[in-house]
Amino acid sequence: MRTVRAFAPATVANVSCGFDILGFALNDLGDEVHLTSTDSNEVTIQQIIGDGGRLPLEVSKNTAGVAVLSFLKAVKLNFGVSIVLHKNLPLGSGMGSSAASAVAALIAINELTGVRLPKQDLLLHAMEAEGIACGSAHADNVAPSLLGGFILIRSYHPLDVIRVPLQATLFATLVHPHLELKTEDSRKILRPAISREESIQQSGNVAALMVGLMTSDYDLISRTLTDTIAEPTRKLFIPGFEAIQSEAKRVGALGAGISGSGPTIYALSKDYATAQHAGQVMASSFQQEGLKSDVIISKINPTGAMILD
């Protein structure tokens, strides 16, 4: 019996103009998975800590469990393992909670079995697990949680994941109101078609965001952080969204938008003091809507998921 502990960070997916194709990883905040080898040839979830008993212990319904099963099936191993999942991320928060659990489990099983595939090769298993949680196999949380940094999903068919060579120094502010949204519900309200003009705007912004990130052009980054696809409908689920967004910008944040499918709102700033100030005014705006919130400040995590032992 051997135990491997792994950590996978929280992530901000979508990133305004990068709807469905961009995401970045945070420091410190994330889920932990402890895997212990057993003699049974079975995968079981022994315990989930921090979810208030809300997540399924059934392996095939839990993102950590599905990730482990998908990995073992692909590498054709019969391997007994017992999972302990430490949920440090709130559920349905838009901070990549289900992705972090899946990624931490994958990093751990990859180590525990001694298979040691390159991180990139774990991505498809993490996406399969995401499919269980979100109703669709998206990569914009799992990829940054696994790989770290600012990640661009160029294509899903075939999967083409690119690490943006980030030059800009960025501080993320996450303000998480005590309110829960399900990714699955948030996807249902997306418009199936958008106008050509809106699509061109989004393309122009996300292309320019790449240039800004790679040349540390903070003014340019700031001009790009809008979303014509998801924000117009999804913001209706977040009380006070527009006021919070403009408050963040008023105190100097480069921009703000919905983190993942919400209700967490992210802001990006070029220094820590601004990121902190943005957090204060954003939390205070949520307060005016009668919502308590948690504020998290983090640089972009360059390494992603890792083994803790």
Which residues lie near a copy of itself (CB under 8 A)?
17-22, 152-155, 160, 162, 164-165, 190-196, 198-211, 214-215, 220, 223-224, 229
Of 93 and 141, the one with the shorter C-beta distance to a copy of itself is 141
Of 13 and 282, the one with the shorter C-beta distance to a copy of itself is 13
- Cβ neighbors of 195 (< 8 A, separation 6 or more) are none
Per the CB < 8 A criterion, the answer to whether 302 and 149 are in contact is yes
CB 196 to a copy of itself: min, Å? 6
Token pair in block for residue 304: 């992603």
Q: Is 270 helix (H, G, I), strand (E, B) or coil?
A: coil
Per the CB < 8 A criterion, the answer to whether 2 and 49 are in contact is no
CB 133 to a copy of itself: min, Å? 20
DSSP string of 130-141, one letter each residue:
HHHHHSS---TT
CB 220 to a copy of itself: min, Å? 7
- The whole-angstrom separation of Cα 254 and Cα 206 is 15
Per the CB < 8 A criterion, the answer to whether 214 and 166 are in contact is yes
CB 265 to a copy of itself: min, Å? 22
- The whole-angstrom separation of Cα 35 and Cα 101 is 12
CB 261 to a copy of itself: min, Å? 14
Of 203 and 284, the one with the shorter C-beta distance to a copy of itself is 203
Of 15 and 248, the one with the shorter C-beta distance to a copy of itself is 15
Q: For residue 83, what is the enclosing H or E element?
A: strand 80-86
Of 211 and 308, the one with the shorter C-beta distance to a copy of itself is 211
Of 65 and 262, the one with the shorter C-beta distance to a copy of itself is 262
Token pair in block for residue 261: 């499918």
**Closest Cα to residue 90, out of 162, 179, 160?**
179
CB 19 to a copy of itself: min, Å? 7
- Cβ neighbors of 192 (< 8 A, separation 6 or more) are none
CB 194 to a copy of itself: min, Å? 6
Q: Rounded to the nearest 5 degrees, what angle is found at the Cα of 100, between the Cα atoms of 95 and 105?
A: 170
Of 120 and 195, the one with the shorter C-beta distance to a copy of itself is 195
